[in-house]
Chain A
Amino acid sequence: MIHVTNLTKRYAGRTAVDEISFDVGRGEIVGFLGPNGAGKSTTLRMLTCYLSATEGRASVAGFDIFKDSIKVRKRVGYMPENVPLYLDMRVKEYLQFRARLKGMGYRESRAATDEAMDTCGLTDVQRKMINTLSKGYRQRVGLADALVNKPDLLVLDEPTNGLDPNQIRQVRDLIRQLGERHTILISTHILHEVEMTCGRVIILDKGQIKASDTPQNLVRRLRALGTVSVQVKGSPEAAMKEIEAMTGVRSVKHTITRQDWARIEIETEANTEICEEIFQIAVAKKWKLRELVQKTASLEDAFVNLTINKKEKKSDD
């Protein structure tokens, strides 16, 4: 559906997107994840033909974004960041205008507008002026706008930005629902979002792709360190010694003691399972054990690892 090779965008000397290449297959929901300023919006704007690439090429639904821009735009439903809308129009009127602008006939556009309003839960507010709507509803109008002409691909730039938790959940559910029928490319700086909605994540930082995989694989593959937490009764020193001697353990430290219970945090190498071993030793040595938890790294850890650490490392050397 999307095929990108060495796409680059430079703004007045600074490179916002730096030779990125990726593909998105039909039916996929792909999340574009990165901190602010990573170049997510710039990439999406190039794919939707709002900006021209400085270098590289890309095609959407088989059409070159530069040479066949009109054909690409016919097949893409785009919701820009911050959802700009004509505030002086009514919801239904706006959607119908957009449907017609995207090439639908009058009758067709009416039916499509009703369907889009139904999908996005806008039927009740169809006669309201857009400037009287809450942010959550405007977001839905933006979504309805993107999908009104039944495009092959939906491109959504930070669709839950600025919403309250309830609205976020609603929009997310809506996106997941849309994923059953559309290919979706969604950008966000919120990790939860991709974990919950996307089949694949592309992590972007400083205009470069740092990783591209399923959220689960990414966590597994990128989990630099696993953490195990143990609570033992009494003095932790003996237990710490035993644990330090195990294979795959990188560091052991005693964090707090509360009412005789000492908590020990253990860092292990990637993909190392030591809980069973600790349990067996505990049984053998008759430690009193209250907690034994393997903490799995979240996508958040992977993300922080990929973006923040790299930055620090770079500035170090």
Chain B
Amino acid sequence: MRAFTIIFWKELRSFFLSPLAYVVMALFTMLSGFLFVNMVKAMTANVNPQSLVFNLFSSGWFWMGFFILFPLITMRLFAEERKMGTLEGLFTAPVRTSEVVLAKFASTVVAYLVLILPMFLFFPIFKSLTGETAAFNDGALWGSFLGLLLVGILNIAIGVFASSLTQNQLIAAMLTFVGVMLHYMFGYLHHMSALPQSEFTAGLTYFSTVEHMQTLSDGLIDTRPMIYYLSFSAMLLALTHHVLEYRKWQA
């Protein structure tokens, strides 16, 4: 626990001292701001039964931003330490591998929340500027926040795992990109009309990030997807732990 806290703060600090953090934050805020404006315009032009929150987080464009965000914030975690050799100093200090993995993971989750914070501020700002109350309700906002947290946790776990596999940050980033994208695509499988409707296709909705977000951004909280995201992430972190321990045996 001691080592966890120390590494957690060190990681967070070095993340926010790097220019990358601000570039990513700016890009992501710009992309979502652009979408936000377009969404508001579209909703003004046509009657739309869904809320602003729902529409924003259903947009494929929004999720595209994620394919870039997660590789960028996770690629250096272990790959850089391997490349620089600092992994040797880290693992010859009296720290448990699990503490290192969890600390790096947790600090990235916190960094992620800070990065998406400006986007979340759009909603209250919009409300206070326009006085519009019908666009969305608070439940939808909190629900979608929970959704983004869960999705973020899973995608960061994918990135942590990818970064532990290689000493090349570019490869780590590409693996994460593919992982995040595949998971997102997988969520569309049950929409494919070629597939016969069955229990199997119904089961596929478990993987459907978009569907989960839509439920949550309606303000409905379902615990099943929550358990799915958390257990899948835990499994990826356990795999990361395994990879780092295995390193000792072959190197």
Contacts and interface: CB of A to CB of B under 8 A. Distances in A.
Interface of A: 11-12, 45, 48-52, 70-71, 73-74, 76, 78, 80, 82, 84-89, 97-98, 100-103, 145
Contacts of B227: none
B251 to A, nearest CB: 6
Contacts of A103: 2, 94
B6 A101 contact: yes
Given A11-B251, A103-B2, A48 B14 contact: no
Interface of B: 2-3, 6-7, 10, 14, 17-18, 84-96, 248-251
Contacts of B10: 97
User: Which has the most chain A C-beta neighbours within 10 Å: B3, B6, B93, B248?
Assistant: B93
Main secondary structure of the interface of A (DSSP, over half): loop
Contact of A102 (B85, B93, B248, B250): B93
Contacts, number: 67
A97 B249 contact: no
B94 A74 contact: yes
Given A11-B251, A51-B251, A84-B88, A73 B14 contact: no
B89 A145 contact: yes
Contacts of B6: 97, 100-101
A97 B249 CA distance: 28
A88 B92 CA distance: 20
Contacts of A78: 88-89, 92
A87 B2 CA distance: 23
A101 B86 contact: no
A101 B11 CA distance: 13
B94 A52 contact: no
A118 B85 CA distance: 26
B94 A51 contact: no
B8 to A, nearest CB: 12
A209 B60 CA distance: 64
Contacts of B249: 51-52
A1 to B, nearest CB: 17
A84 B92 contact: no
Given A50-B248, A97-B6, A80 B88 contact: yes
Contact of A84 (B2, B14, B86, B248): B86
Nearest to A88: B14
Given A84-B84, A84-B89, A86-B14, A101 B95 contact: yes
A43 to B, nearest CB: 13
A44 to B, nearest CB: 10
A49 B93 CA distance: 9
B85 A73 contact: no
B177 to A, nearest CB: 25
B83 to A, nearest CB: 10
A71 B96 CA distance: 11
A89 B93 contact: no
